[in-house]
Amino acid sequence: MSPGLIDVHAHFLPDFYVQQATAAGHAHPDGMGGWPTWSVEAHLDLMDRGGIETAMLSMSSPGVHFGDDMAARLLARRVNEFAAGLARDHPGRFGNFASLPLPDVDGALEEIGFAFDTLAADGVALLTHTHGVYLGDERLEPVFAELDRRRAVVFLHPTSPVGWEHSALGRPRAMTEYFFDTARSVTDLLMAGVLTRHPNLRVIVPHCGGALPVLADRIDEFMRLFLPGQQPPAPDGVQQLRGLYYDTAGTAFPRQVPALLNLVAPDHVLFGSDYCWTPPPLADAHLAAIDAAESPVEGTTWRSLTTANAERLFPGRAR
């Protein structure tokens, strides 16, 4: 298959991470039945079968911070070195979105420096919140300032929201709560002015934006009501949302991508498989749906379109 896809939403699960997360109380992460199996060989097999040239690896929920700052720093360093090793051992096949030990800001700043300057990370992965600290929280300002200085790619990933014990109604939080927490956290970024203060950030929102496409006009209206007379005037909410990138992980077709394209231009859509949290049969089915769908840009396929978009976002990945 050609061209080879660049998968911006791909996860890895080394055994040491699963053991540590399980010991911290995450035997059923986000209400799922358990941890999926993952290996380098199985991941490469899926990539080869699906025509995926490069997978940008990231750590999914519940992240690396289980309550202790020092332990989180050590675990972040270990998973980041592991992913960098995969990229080194398999040239061109794997990239790396580094994990940060948030909400430990000092630890996160230290890891940003190490990830970019020593490990040559392609970006960072941030959960929608860590222990209730959402992304618009003023405590995170030094982190976003540093990421802006580096013109970093920031890959967002949802996690169980605060209060999930009541809101999830006993169902897996990945089903709907992920989408709502994505909308909550991105809205927080807009309302707090993070994106206007740090215009060099290049943010990837997962799962076709979750609930954002249908909420965009409502968010914009409330921003006008609650942020009038802001100096300098902030771009409207819809304009800010249009400046973000969105991946197709999950059930992108037949309904999510059309909704997304009512918000953003096709040049801001990227491919995502969500493997290994999406099992191989479903990942194969999602790829088949993408291949069967008509591209919104004449003369392209969804493969060629999303790959060209990713190559502009990651110039080092261009062939």
Give pLDDT tens digits for 49-90. 999 999 999 999 999 999 999 999 999 999 999 999 999 999
What local confidence, expressed as pLDDT, does residue 259 receive? Answer: 97
pLDDT over 80 (residue 233): no
Give pLDDT tens digits for 259-285. 999 999 999 999 999 999 999 999 999
What local confidence, expressed as pLDDT, does residue 54 receive? Answer: 98
Token pair of 168, please?
């999830």
Q: Give the number of residues written for the chain.
A: 319
Give pLDDT tens digits for 299-317. 999 999 999 999 999 998 7
What local confidence, expressed as pLDDT, does residue 12 receive? Answer: 98
Percent of the chain past pLDDT 70, that is, above it, reads 96
Q: Distance between CA atoms of 184 and 209, rounded to whole angstroms?
A: 11
What local confidence, expressed as pLDDT, does residue 318 receive? Answer: 62
Query: Per residue, what are the HEC states of 154-220?
Result: EEEECCCCCCHHHHCCCCCCCCCHHHHHHHHHHHHHHHCCHHHHCCCCEEEECHHHCCHHHHHHHHH
Amino acid at 157: H
What local confidence, expressed as pLDDT, does residue 1 receive? Answer: 42
Q: Distance between CA atoms of 88 and 40, rounded to whole angstroms?
A: 13
- Three-state DSSP at 135 gives coil
Q: Was domain 5-314 assigned CATH 3.40.190.10?
A: no
Give pLDDT tens digits for 195-206. 999 999 999 999
What local confidence, expressed as pLDDT, does residue 225 receive? Answer: 85
Q: So where are the chain's domains?
A: 5-314
